[in-house]
Amino acid sequence: MMAQFQKQLTALSREMNRLDRFYHQFAKQHAINYNQLIILYELYTQGQCTQKQIREIWIVSKQTINTLCNRFVTEGLIQFTKTEVDGRERQMQLTEQGRHFATPIIESLLQLEATVSTQFGEQRLRDLTTEMTEINQLFDKQL
């Protein structure tokens, strides 16, 4: 018989997966995949970032992000610039064409997120984020 904590963690995992599935489905509705969505999301909302930053935030493999970013460069959607701090690390940003492509997708997503956040409640969302951060830190200590 499953212990109560196992049932709770399983239920939590299911709900996190359902939330993740929303973003996968949203991407599919816009004829892109989830990994393309997160690249566009970060570049649109942050202005510029590195591949490493995207990998660390979204926990996606180096190869996946590199391949998609190179494809976006070929398609004229993003451009690379060298950073002043470390010449090996390259900042990425949307080109004008990339911004034109990303704007309707990401603005639609931001509006959906704002609607859900309002319905759920900003304080509840902050509390949930705090709790998730704490449980993730506890699990990280066990690795």
Domain extents in the chain: 24-141
Report the C-alpha gap between 1 and 68 in whole angstroms: 44
d(CA 106, CA 39) in angstroms, rounded, equals 11
Question: What is the model's pLDDT at position 35?
Answer: 97
Using CB atoms within 10 A of its CB, is residue 34 exposed (0-12), middle (13-18) or buried (19+)? middle
Q: How confident is the model at residue 37 (pLDDT cuts 50, 70, 90)?
A: very high
Indicate whether 6 pLDDT > 80.
yes
Determine the average pLDDT of the residues in 120-129. 95
pLDDT of 4? 86
CATH of region 24-141: 1.10.10.10
* DSSP character at residue 85: S
The 49-50 sheet, strands edge to edge: 49-50, 90-94, 78-82
Q: Which two tokens stand for residue 135?
A: 């449980």
**pLDDT of res. 1:** 59
* Residue pLDDT, tens place only, 63-115: 999 999 999 999 999 999 887 766 677 899 999 999 999 999 999 999 999 99
Q: What pTM was computed for the model?
A: 0.88
Average pLDDT over residues 31-36: 98
Percent helix, strand, coil in the chain (nearest 5)? 75, 10, 15
What pLDDT score does 3 carry? 85
Residues in the chain: 143
What one-character-per-residue DSSP string does 59-84 give?
T--HHHHHHHHHHHHHTTSEEEEE-S
